[in-house]
Amino acid sequence: MWRLIVFWLLMACSDGAVFADTGPIRIGITPAIVHDEYLLMMDLRQYLERKTGRFVELLSRNSYRDTIDMVKHDELDFAWVSAYPFVYLQQNFHARLLAMPLLDGRPAFRAYLIVPAGDKITTSLLDLQGKFFAYADPYSYTGHLVPRYELRQAGKDPATFFAKTFFSSGHKRAIKAVASGLADGAYVDSFVWDSLAIIEPGLTAQTRIVTRSAECGSPPIIASQRVSERDFTDLRRVMLAMSADPEGIKLLKRLHIDGFVAGDPKAFDEVARIMRAMGEL
């Protein structure tokens, strides 16, 4: 009951920031970021509620496929995804780019090839032939597409190159698999690894970055094709204004990003090209 009272007070007192619709804003959160920090996600939800005058549901999923399906079936309005899910949803279901996070001042990130810290020999992915390799997610650009494309470019068959591969269900879990020795290597999202290097340095210290891929667009926030133009514009405004708001700045620091920009879908052109080359688009 108290949430309804707060809601109607926000509606009555809003300065015009209240969204066009009256239902909750449903936002999917994926392993593209460190999404298992409960207090941080709760504070982000409450911040967005205050700024929009709407109830906000943050729906965390460990699988990109789950989030993709939720967007397809109109169970999400927005989602914070990664490069591969964005391109897939943009091409097939007309999802739109809402905002991109600035990481070290740039709307870009990379794939890191990591191995256990005790491995001082590996210098490239090709050195891991016959080893155990952890993939982050079947729909991950950095954690699945990049290593398979790299092997294909080297004339290797990704299906037989490694002794064993497995999906870890997220970049953090892939890092844990390498740190514990369960896997001999993994390609992971630089945003997740860099964030963990701050909040869980003991974990990342057990891994070593071997190579860094070329940059691509940072993990974007996307909008379903069914989102109204006003709701799209209003949430984009809220996200882009965070870096000029004292409370927003505190949240951004905890998210380990500098702010959000509207971004450019062309930042994902190389991702789309590789997806086509691999027959996945």
pLDDT digits (tens, 9 = 90+) for 56-73: 999 988 889 999 999 999
| DSSP3 helix / strand / coil % (the chain, rounded to 5) | 45, 20, 35
Percent of the chain with pLDDT over 90: 86
Mean per-residue pLDDT over the chain, rounded: 91
1: pLDDT strictly greater than 80:
no
Global confidence as pTM: 0.86
Domains within the chain, CATH numbers bracketed: 2-107+218-277 (3.40.190.10), 111-213 (3.40.190.10)
Question: What confidence tier does 238 reach under pLDDT thresholds 50, 70, 90?
Answer: very high
User: What is the rounded average pLDDT of the residues 171-194?
Assistant: 96
Return the pLDDT at 22.
Answer: 67
Backbone phi and psi for residue 140, each to the nearest 5 degrees, phi listed first = -100, 130
Residue 38 scores a pLDDT above 90: no
Biggest distance spanned by C-alpha atoms of the chain? 64
- How far apart are the C-alpha atoms of 216 and 18, rounded to whole Å? 34
Q: What is the pLDDT of residue 12?
A: 40
The DSSP line for 174-227 is: HHHHHHTTS-SEEEEEHHHHHHHHHH-HHHHTTEEEEEE---EE---EEE-TTS
Least confident of 13-17, 104-108, 139-143: 13-17
